[in-house]
């Protein structure tokens, strides 16, 4: 176990950024999101949940795939370069780290997504324990330990120190890079914080949320339930839940005429939109009920059915906080469970 004084964190950031790009929570206009570190930015490790997760670092909201140029009758296709430089994503909470594990199941399965794979290969994850989980959090339901999250390096923040524990080979390499700034430490403060976090988690409103009946075998029972007729009605189809979700992976591919050729890019999309997966013959989900059901069936039934029981929800609570209709995955789970009877 290592530690570094809070007052020396700017030196830590600078040391990492000198060798590779550093992405971490930055407060801008009162909102905190992951962004590239500069000496002028307002680093914010205190905010529990960034507006969006850190998945942008590995699966950007928009990215160019290739360029097409025409010179007379000749067409040249130039693929976008893959990530080739190392980078660090610092301060990711346990739910968002698990979200990246969910994305791994999608983008690293055959056929492997080369853009995503290159970023995962070159990215190092420094996770940060949640000092004070909030009422909308329910990561424990999905087996996530917010007091000791997964990651290449795991850190804990106290009033005076950031405690640092390398876990993987990537983590050891990053630790060696900043070794001069770290000092040896026992784990007494970390143990105390983990115990305190555990007590908070047990008292959260959704700590006892039951996933009974939600699994890969529940297809017909859940799909044909009349409950969807009632549940979907407050949905505005705004897509907010999908854009703040750490695990949503839907995207669209579009072409943009630059005036000097065509740029093909992909960008996040939402299964809640009426034109999602629209094809020449129309749309295979023609009603908002069908689209609403698709989102939650995918996270709680389809995904675990195809990924060894892993759910495509990490209990971060962003959809609980952000949905303008106060409609979220917790309400859906409760409606089908004992809590909803």
Distance CA 132, CA 67 (A): 46
Q: Are 144 and 94 in contact (CB under 8 A)?
A: yes
Decide: helix, strand or coil at residue 58: coil
Q: So what's the pLDDT on residue 50?
A: 97
335, two tokens? 């409606």
pLDDT band, residue 73 (cuts 50/70/90): confident
**Could you count the other beta carbons within 10 Å of the beta carbon of residue 257?**
9
Q: So what's the pLDDT on residue 286?
A: 77
Say if residue 27's pLDDT is above 90. yes
Q: What does the pLDDT average to over 317-335?
A: 93
Distance CA 250, CA 164 (A): 34
Distance CA 264, CA 141 (A): 40
Closest CA to 99 of 142, 44, 136, 46: 142
Q: What does the pLDDT average to over 205-229?
A: 91
Say if residue 283's pLDDT is above 80. no
CA dihedral sign of residues 314, 296, 275, 280: positive
Angle, CA 161 vertex, CA 141 and CA 24 arms, to 5°:
60
pLDDT band, residue 193 (cuts 50/70/90): very high
pLDDT band, residue 202 (cuts 50/70/90): very high
Distance CA 99, CA 50 (A): 14
Q: So what's the pLDDT on residue 285?
A: 73
Q: So what's the pLDDT on residue 340?
A: 44
SS (H, E, C) 89-108: EEEECHHHHHHHHHHHHHHC
Q: What is the pTM of this model?
A: 0.93
Exposed e or buried b per residue across 209-230, where buried means at least 16 C-beta atoms within 10 angstroms of its C-beta: beeeebeeebeeebeeeeebee
Q: What does the pLDDT average to over 29-46?
A: 96
68, two tokens? 């097409």
Question: Looking at the chain, which runs of residues are DSSP E strands?
Answer: 2-5, 21-28, 31-36, 62-71, 74-79, 87-92, 123-128, 153-157, 161-166, 183-184, 251-257, 262-268
Output 340 or 30, whichever has higher pLDDT.
Answer: 30
Distance CA 98, CA 96 (A): 5
Q: Are 26 and 37 in contact (CB under 8 A)?
A: yes
Closest CA to 295 of 328, 251, 336: 328
């Amino acid at each position: 176990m290592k530690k570094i004084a809070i007052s020396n964190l700017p030196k830590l950031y600078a040391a990492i950024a000198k060798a590779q790009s550093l992405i971490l929570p930055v407060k801008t206009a009162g909102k905190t999101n992951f962004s590239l570190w500069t000496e002028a930015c307002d680093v914010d490790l205190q905010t529990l949940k960034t507006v969006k997760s850190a998945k942008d670092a590995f699966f950007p909201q928009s990215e160019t795939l290739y360029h097409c140029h025409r010179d007379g009758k000749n067409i040249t296709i130039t693929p976008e370069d893959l990530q080739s430089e190392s980078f660090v994503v610092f301060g990711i909470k346990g739910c968002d780290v698990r979200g990246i594990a969910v994305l791994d199941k999608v983008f690293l399965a055959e056929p492997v997504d080369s853009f995503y794979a290159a970023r995962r290969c070159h990215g190092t994850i420094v996770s940060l324990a949640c000092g004070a989980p909030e009422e909308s959090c329910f990561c424990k339901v999905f087996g996530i330990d917010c007091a000791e999250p997964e990651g290449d390096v795991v850190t804990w923040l106290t009033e005076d120190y950031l405690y640092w524990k390398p876990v993987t080979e990537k983590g050891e390499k990053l630790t060696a890079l900043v070794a001069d700034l770290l000092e040896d430490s026992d784990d007494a403060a970390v143990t105390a914080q983990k115990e305190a976090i555990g007590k908070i988690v047990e008292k959260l409103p959704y700590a006892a949320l039951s996933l009974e009946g939600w699994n890969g075998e529940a297809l017909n029972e859940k799909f044909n339930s009349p409950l969807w007729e009632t549940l979907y009605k407050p949905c505005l189809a705004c897509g907010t839940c999908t854009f703040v979700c750490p695990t949503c992976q839907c995207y669209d591919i579009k072409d943009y005429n630059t005036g000097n050729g065509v740029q093909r890019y992909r960008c996040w999309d939402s299964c809640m939109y009426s034109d999602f997966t629209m094809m020449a013959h129309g749309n295979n989900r023609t009603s908002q009920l069908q689209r609403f059901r698709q989102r939650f069936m995918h996270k709680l039934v389809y995904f675990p059915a195809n990924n060894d029981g892993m759910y495509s929800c990490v209990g971060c609570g962003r959809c609980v906080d952000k949905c303008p209709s106060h409609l979220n995955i917790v309400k859906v789970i409760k409606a089908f469970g004992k809590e909803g009877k």
